[in-house]
Amino acid sequence: MDDKSLHDLLNGALAGEPPLGPVAQNALAAGIRLRRSRRIRAAAAATAAAAVIAVTIPVGLGVRGHLAGPEQPPGTPILYVGTYTSKLHTRHTYGGTVVPINTATNTPGTPIQLVGGPNSPTIADNVGKIAITPNGKTAYVTTDSSVTPVSTATNTPGRPIHIAPSANGFDYPDFIAITPDGKTAYVASGWGTVTPISTATNTPGKPIPVGSGPVWIAITPDGKTAYVASKSGTVTPISTASNTPGKPIPVGAADFSIAGGGFIAITPDGKTAYVANVSGTVVPISTATNTPGKPIRVHKGGQIWWAAITPDGKTLYVLTWGGAGPNQFVVTPISTATNTPGKPIPVGTTSFIGTDIGVGQIAITPDGKTAYAANSSSVTPINTTTNTPGKPIHIAGLLQIAITPDGKTVYAANNVGTITPINTTTNTPGKPIHVVGNFTQAIAITP
């Protein structure tokens, strides 16, 4: 329908009515401009044009309606919690589930039961990590035998994507990262490969060999390179255009077996990848040349448990345990301009250290003003302007944290099936949310 037809249709609809005033004329012009800018197909354009007519006529002309507004804002973010129910601890179903939680109401939805792979053909035997596509439409969940896509619109799981095991039969999916364009998910398998998955077809590609025991993947903001940290003490760059690995980058001998391994944080400009390992050092890597810089010692005798970088890229925050005292957690700020560490910030102690489940994380609010550091007994807010800690928020259990896109709420999930929302304005915890399962192993929130 062209503009003349649109005017004719309007004139026919208003036959016998008073002439259109300037308000209605302007509304009509706005509707036409909106239709043009969206460049919708002809059939849809006719429907849209009629809708514009219906809603742009003032009430005084006898038709009730209102001016067309902008596109609707994104839906309420959903927090996905991966849980595991062990048959050793309960008589309930054995296997992995994902529980969706509405962040507007803090109510959990129906648990999503995951189906396993060759070793567990009926029920998934574990939940590893959760990664959500940038458009928020699909959550990918790794288990001990497959990767399952979950539609966030319906919270229904798709067909599990089986990752071929290695010759030893134990090369199962673990860590997962998705490219910024959302087209490819890269899945690390425990014994030395990374498998690309097309998110359009949910089919796995040819496994890419990397160092022994890949434990972390980070992708540059331009999506051109995936960096994979391995237990072997190396970082392997992978070209996402060809899915070919580059020369491994040595980052120093380290025991990556504790708490899951090395952590990679890439600056927003994509120029530097910081690799933090449990040995207590951080190695900056130039992404232009893939050469490592001088290691940064964050805390003598401490073990690194997590690392995160501020949205402006100016500061890297590293969470370490030990070194400062028995069971003491500290956060060390590192200036990315000079690669020098600042004064350690105490963020509490813990009475329990596990080697299989990480007990500490850092999450930074979208505005970059507050970093939240979690250990096994509390969550501590840190003012990033002054690098001073606030009052610890006590929550029992091994904690993982995630922050809503608007920065208003921090969700702290412990290892016994409880998620606690924290108001970032007041730093007060809300009513705990209980989900199925006796181990909480992964959390992620839609954009």
- pLDDT band (50, 70, 90) for residue 396: confident
Pair 80, 150: CB distance under 8 Å? yes
Tokens of 368: 């970059």
Mean pLDDT within 286-299: 94
Q: CA-to-CA distance for 97 and 80, rounded, in angstroms?
A: 10
Task: Let me know if residue 403 belongs to a domain.
Answer: yes
> Which DSSP helix (H) or strand (E) runs through 7?
helix 3-13
Q: Are residues 106 and 211 in the same domain?
A: yes
Q: CA-to-CA distance for 193 and 70, rounded, in angstroms?
A: 46
Angle between helices 42-56 and 3-13 (to 10 degrees): 40
Q: Are residues 50 and 167 in the same domain?
A: no
**pLDDT single digits (tens) 178-221:** 999 999 999 998 678 999 999 999 999 999 999 788 888 999 99
For tokens 């992708």, the residue is 219
C-alpha dihedral (190, 447, 365, 186), degrees to nearest 10: 20
In one-letter notation, the amino acid at residue 104 is A
Mean pLDDT within 225-236: 91
Mean pLDDT within 302-327: 85
Looking at residue 40, its pLDDT comes to 34
Q: Are residues 101 and 186 in the same domain?
A: yes
What is the Cα 376 distance to its own chain's centre? Answer: 21
Looking at residue 46, its pLDDT comes to 34
Check residues 121 and 439 and name the one with the higher pLDDT. Answer: 439
Let me know the angle formed at the C-alpha of 445 by 201 and 328, rounded to the nearest 5 degrees.
125
In one-letter notation, the amino acid at residue 100 is P
Report pTM.
0.79
- pLDDT band (50, 70, 90) for residue 314: very high
| DSSP letter, residue 357 | S
Looking at residue 108, its pLDDT comes to 96
Do you know the residue count of the chain?
Answer: 447
DSSP state letters, 73-95: PPPPPEEEEEEEE-TTT-SS--E
Rg (C-alpha) for the chain, rounded Å, is 26
Return mean pLDDT, the chain.
78
Which of 1-5, 111-115, 130-134 holds the top average pLDDT? Answer: 130-134
Q: Are residues 289 and 402 in the same domain?
A: yes
Task: Let me know if residue 68 belongs to a domain.
Answer: no
Looking at residue 214, its pLDDT comes to 86
Q: Domain tally for the chain?
A: 2
Residue 114: which domain range? 78-445
Tokens of 29: 């012009």
Task: Let me know if residue 73 belongs to a domain.
Answer: no
